[in-house]
Amino acid sequence: MPDNSIRAFAQLLARARAAIETPADLDDAARTAIIEDISAFEDCLARGAIPWGFDIHIGSIDHKHGTNHYAALTQEALMAEVAEYCREWWSDIDDGRDPATLDDDTIADIYFGDHSSEYLRIDRVRIDPPLADMQPSNLETGYYCVLTTAHLSTATASLLDEWCSAETSARPLNVASTVYGWFVPAREVDEPTQAKLPADLLAAINFARAHGFDHIQFDCDADSVEALPKHDW
């Protein structure tokens, strides 16, 4: 998945929720994209390959009988386990306070601060996903935004249609046609290429790139943005 992060999964959930809430707003291409993305996540989880990294909080308590090891997904959960140990052996230290009235961090500080032969070590370990198992090494991924085709003039629309049917080497941009518009890369291009782009298309590309997207899906049914001019078709 793009960026192998939980961000992609959160975006997928948002898209799926919107599709359920307003199914009439979803065209066939968008519906197919959601289904494919859900399927990709299902495949990862079925293989036990969580497609994003996460932290594990670990703790070790050295005592006279050996070492206890604890692990949790949050610092709070880890300290709750450590505090449970401290409460169980509270009588080993000379402290008259009731451990039930103290929070987990305070209990650990008091117990290991006063105990002469027991020690607590805490660390956090980052677990990264097995990228090689999740996707081919040559698979290019990225983020795209959806903009209305009304942000383009009819002249620019005609030009995009020409580029889609032209040889790849003859295109200033490697655009692709869709049922309702075009798919356009938003990556930065050199000055000679910029000179070949209409001003409205270049403005949309700059807008997308400034907001962290590397592609634009121009769709006739999409919403407009105030930052870009609109054209009447």
pTM of the model: 0.44
Kindly indicate the confidence band of residue 131, based on its pLDDT and cuts at 50, 70 and 90: low
- Residue 162 CA, chain-centre distance (Å), reads 35
pLDDT tens across 176-200, in order? 998 889 999 998 888 999 999 999 9
pLDDT tens across 66-107, in order? 999 999 999 999 999 999 999 999 999 999 999 999 999 999
Q: Go through the chain and tell me how many residues it has.
A: 233
Report the pLDDT value the prediction gives residue 134, as an integer from 0 to 100: 47
- pLDDT of residue 132 exceeding 60: no
Report the pLDDT value the prediction gives residue 158, as an integer from 0 to 100: 95
- pLDDT of residue 165 exceeding 50: yes
Report the pLDDT value the prediction gives residue 130, as an integer from 0 to 100: 62
Q: Which residues contact 147 (CB under 8 A, 6 or more apart)?
A: 204, 208, 216, 217, 218, 219, 222, 224, 225, 228
Burial zone of 4 (CB within 10 Å; 0-12 exposed, 13-18 middle, 19+ buried): buried
- The CA–CA distances, whole Å, from 149 to 90, 143, 145, 181 equal 69, 19, 12, 7
Least confident of 16-30, 102-116, 157-171: 16-30
How many percent of the chain have pLDDT more than 90? 55
Report the pLDDT value the prediction gives residue 196, as an integer from 0 to 100: 92
Residue that wins the pLDDT comparison between 141 and 75? 75
- Among 10-14, 104-108, 221-225, the range of highest mean pLDDT: 104-108
- pLDDT of residue 108 exceeding 90: yes
CB atoms inside a 10 Å sphere around CB 159: 18
Least confident of 16-30, 56-70, 111-125, 201-215: 16-30
Q: Which residues contact 146 (CB under 8 A, 6 or more apart)?
A: 216, 217, 218, 219, 222, 223
- pLDDT of residue 23 exceeding 90: no
Task: In whole angstroms, give the CA distance from residue 107 to residue 90.
Answer: 9
- pLDDT of residue 39 exceeding 90: no
